[in-house]
Structure 1
Amino acid sequence: MFATLLIAMVGLILLATPARDTAPWLVGAYALAIAGWEAVGMIRQLIRGHAGLDILAVTAISAAVLVGEPWAALVVVLMLTGGAALEDYAANRSKRELTALLRKAPQQATRLLRDEIVPAGGSTAEASTEDVPVEAVEVGDLLLVRPGALVPVDAVLVSAHAVLDESSLTGESLPVERVAGERVSSGAVNGATAVTMRAVALASDSEYQQIVRLVEQAAGSKAKVVRLADRYAVPFTVLSLVIAGIAWAVSGEAVRFAEVLVVATPCPLLIAAPVAFLGGMSRAARFGLIVKGGGTLEQLSRARSAAFDKTGTITTGRPVLERILTGSGFDEMSVLRFAASAEVYSSHVLAASVVAAAKRHGYPLLDALGAEEVATNGVAAEFASESTGEVVTVRVGKPSWLREFAPSLELAVLMPGELAIYVAVDDRFAGAIVMRDQVRNEATQALSDLQRLGIERTLMVTGDVAATAEPIAADLSIDEVYAECRPDDKVRIVSAVQPRPLIMVGDGLNDAPVLAAADIGFAMGARGATAASESADIVNRYDTLASLPLAVRVGKDTVRIALQSIWLGIIISVALMLVAAFGFLPALIGAWLQEVVDLVAILGALRAVGPRSERTLKRPPTGAVGAAHPLTGSAYGERTEI
């Protein structure tokens, strides 16, 4: 664009000098050079089988120069280069929310050289520390997190107490209090006092860096963004050439051909769709939805079926305590306290529920001397007995694994919907913690909203038993239930569902194949690089089912705005072409008017970013009836246009 402006300035200066006759030649030669450059790219696209819109711009520039309108040709060149600059600006504006996480990613960590704990509120001046790149932090390193600093890697709090801002991870705007032994995710912002933490994961495996990778993947997924415009490329090109050809044939003036084509240049089509889809992706990111490509938004706008996993999707995945069964020599407090103290070191989805249950009962957690998670089985941790001082090994997990160490283990008798977590201390069976999963509060409202948004068929596809799944599905008015499904069963069932496109909503490792197989894979609460989030088309960072209808609404709004912008540009361009065909629009004026058409298309497409009132919201609602809908401002669930 700078070179085009420079040539224009030189040409204008030459017009005021005795060498004014050289100005049209200079301008025309530059315009033809740009047309030749664009033609090379056009030919490459044609070889790949893509009939793009560049042929109109190349033809318009060449025709304008050949009929003696080099200044009009220069304006078309300015439109192309300026349009690219405007598109870059619009794209960057649209991606602000997508790139915000990248700017906030932890870069450095402060490592304590000695195994010392800085007391809460104490001075850090005497602590022996070194600042290291976050990639250099090893599991087990003791870290000092200063006031207002980012937690660099996933860690366990060593200090007695900490207040953290976790809004970038969960959308929760209020500070969160943590106590010693609790796990803290990277990316959280420390409060007003320095605290000490022990790293439990490398930077590459920590939650914030995993989110960053997903955002980078989403921002880089542009291959399908312009599909919508491609549908109109060939018809628009043919129509423009036909109008220009008829105008030339009827009038007998070649200049009419050029005058029509300079207002037919296709920037509205080239710019409107990408800007609108990037805006929609940015809008979705504002509500914790990482959309991996504009094609996903287009699929969402046409979605007709939705399938759901049960645990962690329809239900919270965070069971609440029902009762505690005890073994010989143990009471309920010791069973829950031992289990929670060990589960701090577990990544299992049920671990947080056990820790939360202990906190609700006011049981302080024990400091572990060491801990190890045994994949697919459970966690083992060593503690010093408060009564004797002897070291005991607490194991929490599957009964088949615990029975290897505690042969006296007894299986709990469970009711439908209940699950049990077993606890052993050394070689003795300590007891079992019986929990029950809860249906999400927002599930009913979310499913009702999906119906209003055009979802015609709903299914529950779960590995759980029918006795547990069917009552939940009936309460939520889910059409069909497929229980006791293995991962390959889920893929087979979902692949056969009609009508399409289909949204599959799930979380966890066993949902990864079906999320990948669905038209639209939606990973619930998958905030890290889990198999589910890597397989899904949309990653929902906030653990709420209310995000699903929000995603569908964003998809519908984005496609609607993209189509409106495209058609607005086409209608204005066709009107200008007809005016030019009758000889009422000189080439130079027509070229400038086309710049206005481009600007209108860009401004129209930028509406996909969403209204200003929406940008102060941190997360989607919980789905309470009557709550304010963040995309409409009306009662949550009402379908209104913006």
Structure 2
Amino acid sequence: MTTLVAAVRRYPLVALTVVVGVVGLALNWTPASAVVPWLLSGYSLVVAAREAVSMIRRLFRKEFGLDVLAVTAIIATVLVGEYWASIVIVLMLTGGEALEDFAAGRAQRELKALLSRVPQIAHVFDDSGELVDVPVTAVTVGERLVVRPSEIVPVDAVLVSASTAVDESSLTGESMPVDKVAGDLLLSGSVNGPEAVTVTAAARASESQYQRIVQLVSEAAASKPALVRLADRYAAPFTFVSVALAGIAWWLSGDPTRFAEVLVVATPCPLLIAAPVAFMAGMSSASAHGVVIKNAGTLEVLARAKTVVFDKTGTLTRGTPEVVAIRPESGRSEEAVLTLVAAAEQYSSHVLAASLVAEARRRGYSLPAVTDAREVATHGVQARIGTEVITVGKPAFVAEQAPGLAQVDLGSGEAAVYVAVDDQLAGVIILRDAVRDEAQRMLHDLQALGIQKTLMVTGDIEQTAQKVADELQLSEVHAECLPEDKVRIVHTITPGPVVMVGDGVNDAPVLAAADVGIAMGAKGSTAASESADIVILVDDLYRVVDAVSVSKRTVYIALQSIWIGIAISIALMLVAMTGVMPAIVGAALQEVVDLVTILNALRALNLGRNAGSARVASDSSSPLSAGAR
């Protein structure tokens, strides 16, 4: 009952149209049946007058849409006494608008869980030294705050604690954790490491890095041109043909009734309802596969896309470092080196430590017992295993125990973790942020769907970005880009429409500026999800192919439904021109046309995935982001 009341409040005109129709049916079998024509015709003309106001405003802007066709059809059916046809046209008109709005609302509800993680509060020390939660907007410069483990830094702040490692990938594209020591600036939007830290606010929320990016998003979104609805493109020619055929019938027969009989079967219901039904069905189908499309217009643009632009870190790459090489020294095996490192790193809070421990467990290695472990912040860990002292971390730190240590040459995007046993170097472990397994297949299938150009726009360094682009055979690379640089580049790319795929806070402005923005929402930032037109709710880049495939198929079905309706309507108009079809028969046949087009449009509910989720059996590893402990 609550849902019904909410629907009535949200779509009052649809509800009122249904009520008027039901009342008309009830009165039709009573002595008051003479009131029915006046009730239905009067109501239809009121709605037509309302639409006429919108129509006139659009005509002044040189826009010709479905409202012209709807008003013409409603008036024509009222004039010939087909008031039931009039009420059906009104229901199709208001219902189509409601369907589009409902589909957009459903998409927004799919995002609620995702967007609920937006930081709204900051943990601030009050005058008595107690920690209290206040709105982020209430934080003032100079206040001391606590940023808890894995929390987003709420405002630009200076680190007071001795050290931490923060994830700035969503801001800069740097996939490796960035070490910070007391006095360093932490940017709002970056993610704190595994330990709580104390910071001092360096700027208010409105003046912080995150807010500057939000402002860019607003400006980019405002610069997007308004989209012409799919069915509106056919309204003008269909109206012209309908009126022309009706006029010819009147001229040939000399009977003005013939004009009305032709227009009765020219009702615009196929245009009014086919596209909204198909788009709602397509959006529902996409949502079932973890792809939330926020509005129907996005489907139209995506179906015509010619260029797809990708961010690098967290989009084309996994966004987390992985072990790609182990280089033993002093006669030790790979297993021995990784076991020693993982055992010691269990006691480290550094982000790389988790990757090393996870790799050892993935390989099924048993970790020896550790005693007297201690961590030297931002440098490494020292621990005792049995009688041996194990030192793990940066080369300078490990070299204090193993003076003969020589640094290895690293490729772009690689990080090295050194390990010494007592005074001897035991080995080096190399980590990289690897390309996603599904990336190559995704790019190949996008080309098969008509995408002509794929390129990368990233904040990461040129050398790192170029190696990823070479591996994936991308058309172009734009590296070391600030958020405003990404917006400028996307605005100049041809051919269009242009799709942008990203996941970070720094991608939010360009996602809003692109013709279609697609956010990797499973692990990406909330800012990216809010500014994008499409959000992928699972950590699977191949869903970009699914989104393009669903959009093309949905638009195809919508156009097919429109053309089926137009073709049948024109055929009926040609028959009506001969005078063998009474208006009441024409109105009844037009409802059959409506039913056919709606049923065809509903086929979009069953859109299968183009090739299924990518589970490519590939061990591809690629040098990606620079960074070390």
TM surpasses 0.5: yes
How far is the alpha carbon of 1:95 from its aligned partner? 8.7
Aligned pair partner of 1:248 in 250, 254, 266: 250
How far is the alpha carbon of 1:9 from its aligned partner? 3.6
Q: For residues 106-255 of structure 1, what are the structure 2 equivalents within 5 Å?
A: 227-255=229-257
TM-superposition CA deviations, 1:14-72 (whole Å, max 9, x none): 4xxxxxxx7455324432332223322331343255544344444444444444x3xx2
Q: For residues 71-470 of structure 1, what are the structure 2 equivalents within 5 Å?
A: 72-81=82-91, 227-322=229-324, 336=342, 339=345, 353-354=355-356, 356-357=358-359, 359-360=361-362, 387=371, 395=377, 413=408, 415-420=410-415, 434-470=430-466
2:516 aligns with 520
In 2 relative to 1, CA 265–545 (structure 1 residues): closer, same or farther, beyond 3 Å? same
Asked if 1:47 corresponds to 2:57, the answer is yes
TM-superposition CA deviations, 1:288-310 (whole Å, max 9, x none): 11222222221221111222233
Q: Is the 8 A contact 2:491 2:514 kept in 1?
A: yes
How far is the alpha carbon of 1:97 from its aligned partner? 8.6
Task: Return the letter of the residue paired with 1:309.
Answer: D
In 2 relative to 1, CA 486–59 (structure 1 residues): closer, same or farther, beyond 3 Å? closer
2:138 aligns with none
2:27 aligns with 10
Instruction: Tell me the TM-score normalized by structure 2.
Output: 0.62
Q: Is the 8 A contact 2:274 2:562 kept in 1?
A: yes
Cα distance in structure 1, aligned partners of 2:279 and 2:509: 27
Task: Return the letter of the residue paired with 1:491.
Answer: V
In 2 relative to 1, CA 563–624 (structure 1 residues): closer, same or farther, beyond 3 Å? farther
RMSD of aligned residue pairs (Cα, Å): 4.7
Give the SS at the match of 1:261: helix
Q: Is the 8 A contact 2:107 2:294 kept in 1?
A: no
2:487 aligns with 491
Q: Is the 8 A contact 1:522 1:540 kept in 2?
A: yes
How far is the alpha carbon of 1:493 from its aligned partner? 3.0
2:218 aligns with none
How far is the alpha carbon of 1:500 from its aligned partner? 1.1
Give the SS at the match of 1:227: coil
Q: Is the 8 A contact 2:114 2:521 kept in 1?
A: no
Task: Return the letter of the residue paired with 1:53.
Answer: L
In 2 relative to 1, CA 98–508 (structure 1 residues): closer, same or farther, beyond 3 Å? closer
Give the SS at the match of 2:415: strand
How far is the alpha carbon of 1:564 from its aligned partner? 0.7
Q: Is the 8 A contact 1:290 1:541 kept in 2?
A: yes
1:557 aligns with 553
Cα distance in structure 2, aligned partners of 1:341 and 1:280: 50
Q: Is the 8 A contact 1:461 1:481 kept in 2?
A: yes
1:621 aligns with 614
In 2 relative to 1, CA 244–317 (structure 1 residues): closer, same or farther, beyond 3 Å? same
Give the SS at the match of 2:431: strand
Cα distance in structure 2, aligned partners of 1:621 and 1:226: 34
Q: Identify the range of structure 1 (434-443 vs 547-556) with the bigger mean alpha-carbon deviation.
A: 434-443
Cα distance in structure 2, aligned partners of 1:397 and 1:520: 43
How far is the alpha carbon of 1:351 from its aligned partner? 7.9
In 2 relative to 1, CA 86–482 (structure 1 residues): closer, same or farther, beyond 3 Å? closer
Cα distance in structure 1, aligned partners of 2:299 and 2:76: 39
Give the SS at the match of 1:585: coil
Cα distance in structure 1, aligned partners of 2:231 and 2:250: 28
Cα distance in structure 2, aligned partners of 1:528 and 1:439: 16
Cα distance in structure 2, aligned partners of 1:8 and 1:354: 73
Q: How many residues align?
A: 467
How far is the alpha carbon of 1:362 from its aligned partner? 6.3
TM-superposition CA deviations, 1:125-165 (whole Å, max 9, x none): xxxxxxxxxxxxxx99xxxxxxxxxxxxxxxxxxxxxxxxx
In 2 relative to 1, CA 485–422 (structure 1 residues): closer, same or farther, beyond 3 Å? farther
Cα distance in structure 1, aligned partners of 2:285 and 2:279: 10
2:499 aligns with 503
Aligned pair partner of 1:33 in 14, 26, 43: 43
Asked if 1:540 corresponds to 2:536, the answer is yes
TM-superposition CA deviations, 1:581-624 (whole Å, max 9, x none): 2212111111111111111111111112224xx49x99723246
Structure 1 portions without partners, runs of 5+: 15-21, 107-138, 141-199, 201-222, 366-384, 400-405, 425-430, 626-642
Structure 2 portions without partners, runs of 5+: 1-17, 117-146, 149-195, 197-224, 329-336, 382-394, 400-405, 420-426, 619-629
In 2 relative to 1, CA 303–63 (structure 1 residues): closer, same or farther, beyond 3 Å? closer
In 2 relative to 1, CA 79–525 (structure 1 residues): closer, same or farther, beyond 3 Å? closer
TM-superposition CA deviations, 1:268-316 (whole Å, max 9, x none): 1111111212222222222211222222221221111222233322222
